[in-house]
Structure 1
Amino acid sequence: MSTPTSTTGAVIPNLNSVYSGVPTRLANEAVAAKSRLDSQRTVRESSVRKTVSLPPGIGKEQFERAINELKSSLGRENVEINDKPLVDGWYMQHPNTHDAYHIADQEDLTSSAAVYPADTAEVQLIVHWANKHKIPVYPISMGRNIGYGGAGCRVRGSVIIDLGRRMNKILNIDADNASCLVQPGVSYFALYEEIQKRKLPLWIDCPDLGGGSVLGNAIDRGVGYTPYGDHFANHCGMELVLPTGELLRTGMGAMPGKDGADNPTWQSFQAAYGPYIDGIFSQSNYGIVTQMGFWLMPETGHQSYMITFKHEEDFEHIVEAIRPLAQKRILGNIPQLRHVIQELAVTGKPRSTWYKGKGKMPREVIREAASKLPCGDVSWVFYGTQYGDQATINSQLKIIQEAFGKIQGSKFMLPNDLPPDHYIHSRAQVCSGVPVLRELDWLNWVPNAAHLFFSPISPTKGKDAKAIHSVITKLHTKWGFDVLPTICIASREGHYISNIVYNRADEDEKRRATGLMREMINESAKLGYGEYRTHLLFADQVAETYSWNNGALRRFNESIKDALDPNSILAPGRNGIWGQRFRGKGWEILKGDQRDMLKDGVAPKL
């Protein structure tokens, strides 16, 4: 089979030959997705570098000596200086050199070099080297948390530890235990294809896009859409390198198995004996996870469906209807509630198809465009999936239809009620553990598209959902962006994911997107709604909002950081956690910081 290429001639990586590639079943879709993105590009893919980043406080000659030392240990081919043009690429061909969706200057958040360890021992070697030379290192699994900073490093000039390129093995799949053990470079695509190859009756749980790291998504507390959708809650056991270079295994892995083998219950029981410490290694910079276990879902019957709602004001009533269904576990998965503008976006057509004006797209324009789509002139679209045998599914759907049927104008549809190219078919795959690429299509919304996620948590109560939605809508109007919300609603909380899509080649749009993010963080926090996950450049501001008892949580996190990482070498600033070497020296971007990130940069003037 020939290697697929896009209309611009770019080779699309194939999973059979590249760990980060696309499976053959999605090759044509990847080509089409890349071609659509290319058609919206108005700037060159790469730019001439202004400077080459160096670690803070390290001169060029000192850095070269340190890098040569590392090359001698790892092999010259496994250490790359970041001195080439910066290429933003796209989801399947992302850089490990900078934030591909740069909200600040493209050269901010750039690394000085990237290293590619082959195993845990080499990760330890790199960490010892970093401590010796006081050079910060920034580990990535595959760098595909695009929208939250990607492979960018918060301290410019850090050395990226790219764990994916050479540490991408599925170490074990235990069919009887319905579990697996993977390295950081294993993507959802790779894990799914291996399970299919072995013909095992198991499902993985994947997010909307399947190219990311299974391990990386979990430690950043990402979510999916089957009953196993809380990825970190369904992990079991990890191996990690601490910032001092010491090796640690958590859970039952801390007990050796017979004759030194892995403990046979490592992927069976999470907590083991004593304090349960796994949580401190999620969304932190306390260690580099090199192996991680996960529970897999036994294969089962499933039925996806879509319910539309006519009126904007139905939002509060929809959330109220969801709560009892979710708490009683009648809803089979973590469903999505989307505004109808998302139905336009996932067609893959640019915004200009329907509206060429500036500012937020008027509601009447959205209404007119939606009336020509299968969903019709509606305001909200709910995507859900039920699981089990057919009798169970039928009884659940009856209850669900009755509950939502109380909202006037609601309409229930199954996948076979909708055209083959409708988004529901992609959701049905994701909700049955099949990783796909369809979610890329809304990136065609604007030229040179990039995006930021604003991701607050609210209780599953109509008044709370309405309050956060009102803040987000008001501020999007103020800053001139379309509101593209997806609300993932569980029994007691909802992840409100607001997607700011902007043109990364337009400095005004980048400034406005930054202003919108900062104001949403502040205004939501005033009401008690905080983000569960955020972009690198807003991490300090978000961490600052968790301020109860004079910021006790933040101070506790800093105490752990200083104890585990005395030289502050591991991912300084990640998730708003700074070691004592950097803390309080101008790196933090806090609530009252008035800096213009594009003009002033994101680092202190050292």
Structure 2
Amino acid sequence: MTKPLPQGITLGQLNAAIAEIEKVVGKEYVYLDDIKELRSYRDPYNTTNDADFAPSAAVAPHNVEQIQKILAIVNNYKIPVWTISTGKNFAYGGPAPRKPGYIVLDLKLMNRILEVNEKHGYAIVEPGVSYYDLYNYLQERGSKLWIDCAAPAWGGIVGNTSEHGAGYTPYGDHLLMQCGMQVVLADGTVVETGMDTTANSKTGGLYKYGQGAAIDGLFTQSNFGVITRMGIWLMPEPPGYTPFMITLENEHDLETVTDLSLPLRVNQVIHNAPMTVDLLWEAAMSVSRSQYYTGKGPMPDSHRKKMAKDLDLGIWNYYGAVYGPGPMMKNNMDVIRDTFGSIPGAKFHYDDTRKGDPGWDYRVKLMKGVPNMTEFSLLNWVGGGGHINFSPISAADGKSSMNQYKMIEKRAHEYGFDYIGEFLIGWRDQHHIFMLMFNRMSPEEKKRAHDLFAILVDEAAALGYGEYRTHLSFMDQIAGTFSWNDNALWDTHHALKDELDPNGILSPGKQGIWPKNLRGES
């Protein structure tokens, strides 16, 4: 097998750099075998060719000093590295690099929980700390702090936050809850942000901004530095927690429930990000597609209705929660019941009647910050279990929800795929996640999925909807849709890239941000 090489780098140069890196971290922490070791650094759900995202090597440093030495080496040889924390960003590329031949800089061994402040409700963690790690740490110590986790709990806190990920408790806006970070720049300079930069800082985990420009966001969804530490706010355990579910009978109820939700959300009657979830997403927690339909193309309505009846699900299924003292929760739930009870056919569900249903149990855990892996049961929906996520943002507005849903559903059906999606209201925005499920063993089906995704990007942009994160294959295309004022935003990104990383060694192509030597060649 031919070793993939970065553009402009010879095998001799790569081997020389690897030999120097081995002296820094030890041979056991440099991974070179394409089958036994580097297989885990591929994207299992890519829609093109496996070789498109194949690394040449991976290295796992233990600390900041080793990162600095590694960056000095790759700067010397001008070899690009692709930084990951836990590498679990599946449906968006996972641990794989943007181009073949990059060395993966894997921060999994930097997995210390450096501080948990029980009184003020924050933690400081390294990139290798997963949601499971922090949850278990808090549980073992009897902490009364809740985490807010991503749906797959094996993901990393730093990685998910830096990808603008979202969760399900009132602390679900992860970047909003980030406070302070440590970053290693391409030249090895270590920068701390916010109040951490003051001598003997006592407020680093408490106040986000410090003095001068707040630059934390520059290091999220970018390739301007390597995040090696992050502060994250944690939610004090509330006196009470009441999750609820509403099943909705009609497709057009999506518009109604979205418009009814917005005032309840922005006024904190509903405390977390409420979710409106498609029938198939919920059903896939319990059954596979073949149990109800074995034909080709999208599942017919008659089969969908039978599934909904059998599983006691709606065409849409709405989840939310209230938190706090009993009287406050009761008042809020009275308002919620009065509001959504106006929708014909709407039925409320609670733990006393729904417990034991996989979809309900999964959502109840997420909305109280209990990490789990239930969402991966969706991979059983179709044979082959491949998926990528199309993730546009809209206003929390009923007509926008319906426009996005119908546009995506129409195209998905044209290309022979089911619509499987959910809407999450953050504050005034709405995340729409379309999980494009395909058989990853079928080249023909992979190509259809790829072509569908590319069309959705352009059609969403034409309607005024941009994506908040995406798969490696589509980073450049989506970057191109953020083109206002003759690409002024991306010109700014590239100016920063050229200044902070002149040799272009940090994650070239991340979110469509390319170094000067590779710009225009992607």
TM-score by length of 2: 0.98
Aligned match for 1:494, one of 430, 443, 455:
430
The correspondence of residues 129-168 of structure 1 with structure 2, limited to 5 A, is 129-164=73-108, 166-168=109-111
What is aligned with 1:391? 327
Task: Identify if the C-alpha distance between structure 1 residues 87 and 66 changes in structure 2 by more than 3 Å, giving closer, same or farther.
Answer: closer
Give the CA deviation at 1:478. Answer: 1.1
Matching residue of 1:7: none
- The 2-side partners of 1:481 and 1:198 are apart by 46
Candidates 101, 125, 131, aligned match of 1:188: 131
Residues 374, 418 of structure 1: 8 Å contact kept: no
Q: Is the 8 A contact 1:101 1:450 kept in 2?
A: yes
CA distance in 1, matches of 2:334, 2:411: 39
Residue number in structure 2 paired with 1:367: 305
Aligned counterparts of 2:329 and 2:361: Cα–Cα separation in 1: 18
* Distance in 1 separating the partners of 2:280 and 2:106: 37
Are the counterparts in 2 of residues 98 and 108 from structure 1 also a CA contact under 8 Å? Answer: no
- Deviations 1:86-125, CA, capped at 9 Å, x for gaps: 886xxxxxx2x21121221122211111111010111111
Provide the C-alpha distance between the structure 2 equivalents of 1:485 and 1:76, rounded to a whole number of angstroms.
44
Q: How does 1:104-503 map to 2 (within 5 A)?
A: 104-164=48-108, 166-257=109-200, 263-300=201-238, 301-347=240-286, 349-375=287-313, 378-503=314-439
8 Å Cα contact 2:252/2:402 also seen in 1: no
Q: Distance in 1 between matches of 2:304 and 2:37?
A: 37
In the other structure, the counterpart of 1:47 is none
Cα drift, residue 80 of structure 1: 1.5
Q: How does 1:543-582 map to 2 (within 5 A)?
A: 543-582=479-518
The alignment partner of 1:396 has SS state of: helix
Amino acid across the alignment from 2:431: H
In 2: Cα distance, 1:474 partner to 1:323 partner: 26
Give the Å deviation of 1:555.
0.8
Residue 505 in structure 1 maps to residue 456 in structure 2: no
Q: Secondary structure of 2:195's match?
A: helix
Q: Are 2:173 and 2:426, in contact at CA under 8 Å, matched by a contact in 1?
A: no
Q: In structure 1, what residue type is equivalent to 2:43?
A: D
Kindly indicate whether the alpha-carbon contact (under 8 Å) linking 2:24 and 2:70 is maintained by their aligned counterparts in 1. no
Change (3 A) 1:51 1:448: farther
Please give the per-residue CA displacement for 1:533-586, whole angstroms capped at 9, x wherever unaligned. Answer: 11111011111101111111111111111111100110000101001010012x
Alpha carbons 1:229, 1:333 under 8 Å: kept = yes
In 2, distance between residues paired with 1:314 and 1:63? 57
Q: Aligned partners of 2:470, 2:67: CA distance in 1, in Å?
A: 26
> Shift in Å at residue 419 of structure 1?
4.4
Q: Is the 8 A contact 1:343 1:370 kept in 2?
A: no
The one-letter code matched in structure 1 to 2:500 is: L
Whole-angstrom distance in 2 between the partners of 1:451 and 1:256: 47
How far has the Cα of 1:524 moved from its partner?
0.7
Unaligned runs of 5+ in 1: 1-49, 89-94, 258-262, 588-606
1:518-557 aligned within 5 A:
518-557=454-493
In 2: Cα distance, 1:99 partner to 1:308 partner: 35
Q: Show structure 1 runs of 4+ deviating over 4 A.
A: 85-88
Displacement after TM superposition at 1:436 (Å): 0.9
1:47-106 Cα offsets, whole Å, 9 max, x none, are: xxx432122212222221221111122211121214225886xxxxxx2x2112122112
Q: Which residue of 1 aligns with 2:3?
A: 52
Decide whether the 8 Å contact of 1:327 with 1:492 is kept in 2. yes
**8 Å Cα contact 2:38-2:58 kept in structure 1:** no
TM-score by length of 1: 0.85
Asked if 1:81 is matched to 2:32, the reply is yes
> Partners in 2 of 1:104 and 1:152 — Cα distance?
13
Query: What is the CA distance between 1:153 and its match in structure 2?
Result: 0.3
Separation in structure 2 between the aligned mates of residue 86 and residue 380 of structure 1, nearest angstrom: 43
| Paired residue type of 2:173 | D
**Corresponding position: 1:67 with 2:18:** yes
Partner SS, residue 530 of structure 1: coil
1:55 aligned partner, one-letter code? P
Unaligned runs of 5+ in 2: none
Letter in 2 for 1:137: V
Offset, 1:407: 0.9
Q: Distance in 1 between matches of 2:218 and 2:56?
A: 28
Matched with 2:42 is 98
Q: Percent identity?
A: 39
